[in-house]
Amino acid sequence: MRIFKLMFKNALRHKLRTSLTILGIAIAVMAFGFLRTVVTAWYAGVEASAANRLVTRNAVSFIFPLPLAYRDKIARIPGVETVSYMNWFQGVYIDKNQFFARFAADVQTALEVYPEFIVPPDQLEAFTKERNACMVGADLAKQYNFKIGDVIPIEGDIYPGKWDFVVRAIYQPRDEKVDGTQMWFHWAYLDERMRQDMPGRAGEVGWYIIRISNPNDGARISEEVDQLFKNSRAETKTESERAFQEGFVQGTNLIIVLLNFMSFVIIGIIMLVLGNTMIMSARERTKEYAVLKTIGFSGSHLTKLIAGESMIISILGGALGLLLTYPIVGMFSLFVPKSWFPIFYIEPITIVLAGTSALVVGVIAALFPIQRAVRTSIVDGLRFVG
């Protein structure tokens, strides 16, 4: 008990220095947690991918369409349960800064493929009956204050013209990992307009989403789908939903790597801050350690004393940093449009990494002072002037 009492007394002996060290560790831990949250949010779409979903796109590029006629051929492959399809619509709502995902979808089959989008039955019925109806996510509705019956005017770019969509359904994400910022409307409505205005682009889909009965058959089914359309005018590439999502992230891979690197550089900064404090403290107490050795304190006693002091400071700084991380992430999510980071929350692994890092740094920062205290003889310690 006396050792623990000494640890706390030593840690708080220089209150200003200890306070600044704790604050420095807290800021570093908070910055680490925030950067890790940004990285995990960037990969949220990848992590939320379902193992039983495949995506078929044009083999040349995602931006090239596929014929609607492919649907029935894909559906006949053994192991395929449901085939749906979508088009990326884009367009401009208010101005180009108001970005959120807008899809023309085969609504009935799409909701079978994506059961994580929960729609009230009465709203779903109203949505399916009205040609220019749309469905928006709960987070998107909250961001723009959309209500049932509101009209969303969009100026088309990929698909030119003025488009007015009526909100008839608001879906709820099944859990926090599901994107609640999407807008869906009827692919048939888009195709109808294309047949009138741009006949050459009618009957085209952006990509197919395939739900399979057994995730272990994914590789086989992917190969069979691509073999069906080999040497056709629109060859396909079929891959898991995870691989498909990763394709979007790879374009910004360098940024993510840099953020990852910076988050771990911050751990080094914590180590330097705490290490400097512990070295200064050990140097100031050289004579004290010599006296403690004289009255019977062993090397293990000094090791526990110094390591304990370092751990107390690192634990206090780490705990404060973790407490600061939650409001900082919360403030960021309030000021940054939800559509930029649809899924933005602190994952448990981030807390574990941040907390563990603070503890590890506390141990490492104590190594040099321990070595100095243990190796310095009693005579040299008593003679020390500094």
Q: For residue range 134-181, what is the model confidence (pLDDT) as tens digits?
A: 999 998 898 889 999 999 999 988 888 899 999 999 999 887 778 888
Orientation angle between helical segments 253-284 and 299-335, nearest 10 degrees: 140
| Mean pLDDT for the stretch of residues 29-56 | 76
Of 18-32, 167-181, 249-263, which range is least confident?
Answer: 249-263
What stretch of H or E contains 57?
Answer: strand 53-58
Orientation angle between helical segments 253-284 and 15-42, nearest 10 degrees: 160
What is the C-alpha separation between 323 and 133, in angstroms, rounded? 44
Most confident by average pLDDT, 47-51, 127-131, 249-253, 291-295:
127-131
Residue whose pair of structure tokens reads 């089914």 in the numeric block: 221
Q: What percent of the chain has pLDDT over 70?
A: 87
Longest dimension (CA), the chain: 97
The residues pairing with 211 across neighbouring beta strands, listed in sequence order, are 53, 82
pLDDT at residue 208 above 90?
Answer: yes
**What are the tens digits of pLDDT across the range 324-352?**
888 887 777 666 655 566 666 677 877 88
Q: Please indicate whether residue 169 or residue 297 has the higher confidence score (pLDDT).
A: 169
pLDDT of res. 79: 92
Show Cβ contacts of residue 342 under 8 Å, excluding neighbours closer than 6 positions.
44, 139, 179, 180, 181, 182
pLDDT of res. 255: 66
pLDDT at residue 81 above 60?
Answer: yes
The residues pairing with 210 across neighbouring beta strands, listed in sequence order, are 54, 83
pLDDT of res. 347: 76
Q: Please, are residues 178 and 45 in contact by the beta-carbon 8 Å criterion? A: no
Average pLDDT of the chain, as a whole number = 82
Contacts 24+ apart (CB under 8 A), 312-316: 312/7, 312/8, 312/11, 313/11, 313/18, 313/21, 313/22, 313/25, 313/274, 313/277, 313/362, 314/25, 314/270, 314/274, 314/358, 314/359, 314/361, 314/362, 314/365, 315/358, 315/359, 315/362, 316/22, 316/25
- What's the N-to-C CA distance of the chain in angstroms? 30
For residue 162, the tally of other CB atoms under 10 A from its CB is 9
| Mean pLDDT for the stretch of residues 354-375 | 80
pLDDT at residue 33 above 80?
Answer: yes
pLDDT at residue 45 above 60?
Answer: no
pLDDT of res. 119: 92
Alpha helices for 115-252 (secondary structure H) = 121-129, 138-144, 187-197, 218-228, 241-249
Q: Pairing mode, if any, of strands 53-58 and 236-240?
A: antiparallel
Paired tokens of 362: 């506390």
pLDDT of res. 167: 93
pLDDT at residue 238 above 60?
Answer: yes
Return the half-sphere exposure (C-beta side, CA atoms, 13 A cut-off) of residue 58.
16
| Nearest C-alpha neighbor of 245 from the set 90, 51, 83, 103 | 51
Q: Which amino acid is at 274?
A: L
Q: Which amino acid is at 377?
A: S
Q: Please, are residues 151 and 165 in contact by the beta-carbon 8 Å criterion? A: yes
pLDDT at residue 243 above 90?
Answer: no
| Mean pLDDT for the stretch of residues 200-211 | 86
Q: What percent of the chain has pLDDT over 90?
A: 22
Q: Please, are residues 68 and 203 in contact by the beta-carbon 8 Å criterion? A: yes
**What are the tens digits of pLDDT across the range 113-139?**
998 899 999 999 999 989 899 999 998
